[in-house]
Amino acid sequence: MSIEKSYNSWANQYDTNKNRTRDLDKLATIKTLSKYNFDSVLELGCGTGKNTIWLLEKAQLIIGIDFSEEMLNIAKEKIKNPKVIFEKSDLTKSWKIENEFVDLITSSLILEHIKELDFIFKQTYKKLKPNGIFFICELHPYKQYYGSKARYETENGTEELEVYTHNISEFTSVALNNGFKLIELNEWFDDELNKNELPRLISFVFQK
Ligand SMILES: C[S@@+](CC[C@H](N)C(=O)[O-])C[C@H]1O[C@@H](n2cnc3c(N)ncnc32)[C@H](O)[C@@H]1O
């Protein structure tokens, strides 16, 4: 099944399934981005708007882009706020947004579905204002080495989505090649008191 169709079928359970990756991403997003000031945000792969709700506490304008109609329908049901614009679009195609338009671009749990990081970093660089921030939070590649990937349950069994592994050095080298500076790199554990387990998530803050 294509990634888009998988998310269309996952959408009605996405917010309610047991999903430690989704929940830890929310925590990582809030803990990291609380430290930064931003008015305008572009949310890549906004899904059901899980992070949009928190971003709204700080931002005056949020553009949420996703190619899954069903994920977006849930986001639109939950968030009816004139500061938020949801758009259905494929992020692997040219982004129809003015250059140097936003202070912050966020990408949570989406890049594992995108093969070519370079295109995403190039577009992000263009759409950010000078000194703008690019926040990424992803399933840690260490987890991927052991077989973790986006998956959900259906009545016919577990549906696993198409994913790509991006090593840590790939994120940093593609970012640096595109003109970004690395400001923060963090690893997020299921149990903050037991860092001997594999970290579940990795997050980066890059600055233009
Ligand atoms: C795991 S969900 C994450 C949603 C949200 N960011 C969150 O943290 O809950 C991944 C989202 O990325 C979207 N996505 C994946 N590939 C995409 C692409 N090429 N263009 C646009 N959206 C994409 C999916 O439709 C899905 O909503």
Task: Please give the mean pLDDT across all residues of the chain.
Answer: 95
How far does residue 22's CA lie from ligand 1's centre (Å)? 12
Pocket probe for ligand 1: among 29, 66, 86, 138, the residue whose CB has the most ligand atoms within 8 Å is: 66
Looking up residue 97, the CATH number of its domain turns out to be 3.40.50.150
Angstrom distance (rounded) from CA 19 to CA 14:
8
Angstrom distance (rounded) from CA 126 to CA 143:
31
| Distance in Å from the first CA to the final CA of the chain | 36
**Is beta strand 181-188 parallel, antiparallel or unpaired with respect to 201-207?**
antiparallel
How far does residue 207's CA lie from ligand 1's centre (Å)? 22
Number of domains composing the chain: 1
Angstrom distance (rounded) from CA 185 to CA 205:
7
Q: What pLDDT shows up at residue 148? A: 85
- Tell me: the pLDDT tens digits for 66-84? 999 999 999 999 999 999 9
Whether the CB-CB separation of 117 and 178 falls below 8 Å is answered with no
Angstrom distance (rounded) from CA 60 to CA 82:
9
Angstrom distance (rounded) from CA 55 to CA 64:
11
- Choose among 96, 83, 82: nearest CA to 55: 83
Q: What pLDDT shows up at residue 121? A: 98
Whether the CB-CB separation of 75 and 97 falls below 8 Å is answered with no
Q: Which residues line ligand 1 (CB under 6 A)?
A: 3, 7, 22, 25, 45-47, 50-51, 66-68, 71, 90-92, 108-110, 113-114, 150
- The residue segments making up the domain with residue 148 are 3-207
Partners of 56 in the β-ladder: none
- Tell me: the pLDDT tens digits for 94-131? 999 999 999 999 999 999 999 999 999 999 999 999 99
DSSP reduced 3-state for 196: coil
